[in-house]
């Protein structure tokens, strides 16, 4: 079955027979494909699923060592982060979000010269700060990604890094 026909079949099964899919032969359909297209669903009378070429960005939150979520993030901060996540979903930009457990629970895997692996407790790079969580976003350009980064920094009360993926 040609990729476009397969895409339409999957879209009809996933979104219903009244959906219309404008497909590009990109090799993907649900979510983000290898060429960074995103399936966007519009609701209401103009229900259309279409693919939009976008750039993916990694938006990471940094915290100092010893940061305690339970003591430092009150109910207002948690609410603001939840609200930001809802806003990202509603805007159709959020691909993935994940909060990370403390670096004390990390394991580092290193390849040795003889081809074996060493596994050590803790983070690989020792630094004053660490990645506490991140989003992967589909944005039109760096300016849109930076706007989401500003919102993330405000909601998380932390420094945020915005970096594009290759591709």
pLDDT of residue 71: 86
Sign of CA dihedral 101, 89, 4, 17: positive
Question: Can you read off the two tokens belonging to residue 80?
Answer: 């603001």
Residue 25 carries which DSSP code?
S
Question: Can you read off the two tokens belonging to residue 133?
Answer: 């969580």
> What average pLDDT does the structure give for the chain?
79
Domain assignments of the chain as residue spans, ordered by start: 3-53, 55-164
Per-residue model confidence as pLDDT tens digits over 59-85: 999 999 989 888 889 999 999 999 999
153 CB-near residues (< 8 Å, 6+ apart): 159, 160
The span from the first CA to the last CA of the chain, in angstroms, equals 27
pLDDT of residue 131: 96
pLDDT of residue 16: 44
Q: From the CB of residue 132, how many other CB atoms can be counted at a distance below 10 Å?
A: 20
pLDDT of residue 52: 54
Per-residue model confidence as pLDDT tens digits over 98-153: 999 999 999 999 999 999 999 999 999 999 999 999 999 999 999 999 999 999 99
pTM: 0.69
Give the integer Cα–Cα distance in Å for 79 and 159: 18
Residues listed for the chain: 167
Give the integer Cα–Cα distance in Å for 107 and 60: 19
Percent of the chain with pLDDT over 70: 68
Tell me the fold of 55-164: Alpha-Beta Plaits (3.30.70)
């Amino acid at each position: 079955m040609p990729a476009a026909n397969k895409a339409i079949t999957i879209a009809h099964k996933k979104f219903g027979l009244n959906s219309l899919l404008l497909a590009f032969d990109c090799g993907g359909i649900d979510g983000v494909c290898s060429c960074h297209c995103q399936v966007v669903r519009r609701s209401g009378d103009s229900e259309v699923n279409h693919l939009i070429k976008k750039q993916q960005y990694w938006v990471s939150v940094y915290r100092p060592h010893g940061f305690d979520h339970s003591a430092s993030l009150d109910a207002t901060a948690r609410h603001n982060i939840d609200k930001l996540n809802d806003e990202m979903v509603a805007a159709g930009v959020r691909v993935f979000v994940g909060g990370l457990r403390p670096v004390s629970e990390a394991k580092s895997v290193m390849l040795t010269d003889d081809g074996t692996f060493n596994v050590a407790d803790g983070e690989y790079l020792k630094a004053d700060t660490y990645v506490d969580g991140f989003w992967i976003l589909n944005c039109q350009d760096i300016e849109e990604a930076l706007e989401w980064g500003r919102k993330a920094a405000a909601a998380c009360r932390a420094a945020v890094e915005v970096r594009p993926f290759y591709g």
